[in-house]
Amino acid sequence: MIQIQPLSSDNVVPMDLLLLADPSKEQILSYLQSGTCYAAFHEQDMIGVYVLSSRSQHTVEIMNVAVKESWQGKGIGKQLIHHAIAEAKTAGAHTIEIGTGNSSMHQLALYQKCGFRLTSIEHDFFLKHYDELIYENGIQCMDMVRLSLVLQAD
């Protein structure tokens, strides 16, 4: 049984997990300041996290989704995404957004399976905002692919 809950300010930030999805500690610390970190637990073991941040009055964004490597491929990421969608609806958001790299094939598939639609591409995002080059699946990560899911009409 997986339990997902917001981390309190008493909790240590699970940087090791967050770094699985975003290699920049500076970027992570930046969006943690404005977002809420949720963690998935199996018994006492933290196995996944996501960060949900308000972008505007009616829009929230999932800033990071990460699952412990030994738990990947078991549907935990999908549970985290569905939890984020439920949290966004509860908060009264009209739209939930998420972004990922052009080279993140598994993430792009997951987000679309969860109902997200491609909305835009921020060209050279990872070249401008990250000091080190990122490669996934043999592809250089250069562009941010943005997706969104409409929760309720304006």
One-character DSSP codes across 65-106: EEE-GGGTTSSHHHHHHHHHHHHHHHTT-SEEEEEEETT-HH
**Cα–chain-centroid distance for residue 144?**
13
Per residue in 38-89, pLDDT (tens digit) is: 999 999 999 999 999 999 889 999 999 999 999 999 999 999 999 999 999 9
CATH architecture of 2-150: 3-Layer(aba) Sandwich (3.40)
Other C-beta atoms within 10 Å of 90: how many?
Answer: 8
What the block records as the tokens of 26 is: 């500076």
**Cα–chain-centroid distance for residue 142?**
18
Record the pTM: 0.92
The pLDDT of residue 153:
63
What the block records as the tokens of 139 is: 């592809």
User: How far is Cα 120 from Cα 57, in angstroms, rounded to an integer?
Assistant: 20
Per residue in 1-17, pLDDT (tens digit) is: 899 999 987 778 899 99
**Cα–chain-centroid distance for residue 62?**
4
User: How far is Cα 23 from Cα 132, in angstroms, rounded to an integer?
Assistant: 9
* CA torsion through residues 83, 81, 85, 124, sign: positive
